[in-house]
Structure 1
Amino acid sequence: MKTAICYLSCHHGNTRKVVEAMAEAGNADLIDVRTRQAVRLEEYDLIGFASGIYGFEMHESVAAFARQYLPAGKPVFFVYTYGGAKGTGAKVLAQIAAEKSCPVLGEFSCKGYDTFGPFKLVGGLAKGRPSAEDLENARAFFRGLETT
């Protein structure tokens, strides 16, 4: 199964660590949504979207990328990391997927080191995350997607 994971990872690289673990487990292509490369997602059988949680939602640039490039009818999955709270998680991406008749196969989330705003004053939240266990859980989640 040919898989792409479209992601944005800022600050501490939490999301990048998770999607790299998934890519190693299943040989997925990673697409950084900040790069202006020619994207042809219709060539993929499965498409993931990944981001940290910013202001209780996934980063707007990931949602904008999905609106622009997600082909209709493609199976999708979502991945996100968060410091304090999951917020609404992948709600916006799930809405985009529904508008494009894309089945959602699942979501993976885990804590990630966060030093945004006032958290920096106390040394941050979720130190040491994503952990080795989180990354192994991400690999297992991804391998499960490939068998569906």
Structure 2
Amino acid sequence: MKAVIVCTSVSHGNTKRIADVMGQVLQARVVAPEQVDMAELATCDLVGFGSGIFMQNVHPQLRQFVQALPTGARRNAFVFTTSGLPALRVRPFTRPLVRLLQQKGFEVRGTFSCRGFDTSFPFKLVGGIKSGRPNGADLVAARTFAEGLRDRIGAAA
């Protein structure tokens, strides 16, 4: 199975830590949107898209990257996020990106979210929230999620 992970991690490296764990399991390169080789992306069996959450949304850089992707043949994808605050059940942070990927022809095979250290306003005033996250348990959960993807998609690839 050939995989790549497109990750935007700009504040504390929270999302990159999760991406690196998933990348090890999936034997996938982890790249920023501006580093993506479009020819490589077209040959992947699985593409991951990850971002920290900013004002209830994925980072604009990742969203713009996905919006610019050509609509094409169905490919497998997954979405993952890190955030200081929990997502609302009625509006998960991943939902808008999942819908956009589906419009682009991706079959989103799973989503993963965990908490991450957050020093955005107003949390900066108190030194941030969720210090130490993602933690060991979060990294284990990310590994388990990626193993499930590998087992489901790798067998079909």
Q: Answer yes or no: same fold by TM over 0.5.
A: yes
What is aligned with 1:39? 38
What is aligned with 2:96? 92
Instruction: Report if the CA contact (8 A) 2:69-2:104 is conserved.
Output: no
Instruction: Report if the CA contact (8 A) 1:63-1:92 is conserved.
Output: no
1:75-114 matches, within 5 Å, as 75-86=76-87, 88-114=92-118
Report the RMSD for the aligned CA atoms in angstroms. 1.6
CA distance in 2, matches of 1:13, 1:4: 18
What is aligned with 1:56? 56
Mean Cα deviation higher: 46-55 or 23-32: 23-32
Distance 1:128 1:77, change over 3 A: same
CA distance in 1, matches of 2:73, 2:64: 15
CA distance in 2, matches of 1:36, 1:5: 11
Structure 1 residue 53 displacement after superposition: 0.5
CA distance in 2, matches of 1:116, 1:31: 24
Aligned length: 147
Distance 1:59 1:104, change over 3 A: same
Secondary structure in 1 aligned to 2:48?
strand
Mean Cα deviation higher: 15-24 or 79-88: 79-88
What is aligned with 2:74? 73
Query: What is the one-letter code of the residue matched to 2:13?
Result: G
**Structure 1 vs Structure 2: percent identity of aligned residues?**
35
Secondary structure in 2 aligned to 1:125?
coil
Residue 120 (structure 2) aligned to one of 113, 116, 125: 116
CA distance in 1, matches of 2:26, 2:104: 25
What is aligned with 1:140? 144
